[in-house]
C-alpha cells in the first residue's frame, strides 16, 4: 500500500463479520494490489463502516449466502480498485500506469504472488520508463516469485495497449516472438498499458497495478532530508 488512511462508509445494514470479509476481499484486490516503490507505511489503514441508514437501522445482510452480500462485495471491490488506482497514478515521478495481469494460475494466491513480484521489480519498472520491451526481466520476476509450479516452457507474455489495438506478443509458451520494435515503441509510449502473463497452470487470475520508476522519482526522494 502507499501511505494513506482510507475510510469507506456504506448505508447498507451488514453484519460485522461479513463486513470484515467483504473488506478483506476488496483490499486484497485493490489497496494491497498496488505498488509505487514497494515501500509500505506503518500507518496504512483502510476501514469500512456500515450505519444501516438505508435499511432503517436493521441488519439485512447477515449470511454469506445472501445474494445482496455478493453484490455488495463486488461493488465494494470495484470501488476500492478505482480509489487505489488513483494512488498509483499519483505516484512520485510516475509517467506510466501499468496493469499487471496474471492468468492461468493454480490459485489466487499464486497469481497474486507472481503479479506482485513483477509489479515491484525495479528492473521491470525501469524498463517501462526506458520504453524497453524487455520480456526477459518480466520472465525473470515470474521465475523468482517463489511459485513452485512455474514452468518457463508454459509462460506467455504480452503487452496489451489500452486503445484496444492489437496486443504485442513477446513470449509464447516459453518461446520468444519476433518483436516488432516499432509497434513495441508505440505501446510503451502510451501512458496506460497492460502486461499480461499467462502461466497455463490453472484457471485463477488476478491483477496488480504499478507505475514506472523514473529519474524524477530518484530526485524527489534523494534531493531532500526527511
Buried b (16+ CB within 10 A) or exposed e, 88-105: beebbbbbbbbbbbbbbb
Annotated catalytic residues are 3
Report the 3 state secondary structure along 48-90.
EEECCHHHCCCCCECCCCCHHHHHHHHHHHHHHHHHHHHHHHC
Element (H, E) at 122: helix 122-129
Q: Are 48 and 83 in contact (CB under 8 A)?
A: no
- How far, in Å, CA of 172 to CA of 190, rounded? 23
Q: Are 156 and 173 in contact (CB under 8 A)?
A: yes
Angle separating helix axes 67-89 and 16-28, nearest 10 degrees? 40
Q: What are phi and psi of 206, to 5 degrees?
A: -165, 180
Q: Which residues are annotated as a binding site for substrate?
A: 3, 92, 221, 226
Torsion of CA 167, 172, 173, 175, to 10 degrees: -160
Q: Which residues are annotated as a binding site?
A: 3, 92, 221, 226
Amino acid at each position: 500500500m502507499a501511505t494513506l488512511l482510507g475510510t469507506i462508509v456504506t448505508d447498507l445494514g451488514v453484519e460485522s463479520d461479513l463486513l470484515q470479509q467483504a473488506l478483506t476481499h476488496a483490499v486484497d484486490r485493490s489497496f494491497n494490489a498496488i505498488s509505487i516503490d514497494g515501500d509500505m507505511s506503518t500507518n496504512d489503514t483502510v476501514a469500512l463502516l456500515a450505519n444501516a441508514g438505508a435499511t432503517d437501522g436493521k441488519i439485512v445482510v447477515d449470511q454469506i449466502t445472501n445474494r445482496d452480500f455478493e453484490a455488495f462485495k463486488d461493488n465494494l471491490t470495484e470501488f476500492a480498485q478505482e480509489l487505489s488506482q488513483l494512488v498509483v497514478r499519483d505516484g512520485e515521478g510516475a509517467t506510466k500506469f501499468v496493469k499487471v495481469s496474471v492468468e492461468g494460475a493454480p490459485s489466487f494466491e499464486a497469481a497474486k504472488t507472481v503479479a506482485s513480484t513483477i509489479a515491484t521489480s525495479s528492473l521491470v519498472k525501469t524498463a517501462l520508463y526506458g520504453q524497453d520491451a524487455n520480456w526477459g526481466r518480466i520472465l525473470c520476476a515470474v521465475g523468482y516469485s517463489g511459485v513452485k509450479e512455474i514452468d518457463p516452457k508454459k509462460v506467455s507474455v504480452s503487452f496489451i495497449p489500452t486503445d484496444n489495438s492489437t496486443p504485442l506478443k513477446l513470449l509464447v509458451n516459453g518461446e520468444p516472438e519476433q518483436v516488432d520494435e516499432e509497434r513495441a515503441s508505440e505501446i510503451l509510449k502510451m501512458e496506460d498499458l497492460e502486461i499480461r502473463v499467462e502461466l497455463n497452470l490453472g484457471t485463477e487470475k488476478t491483477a496488480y497495478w504499478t507505475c514506472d520508476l523514473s529519474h524524477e522519482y530518484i530526485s524527489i526522494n534523494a534531493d531532500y532530508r526527511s
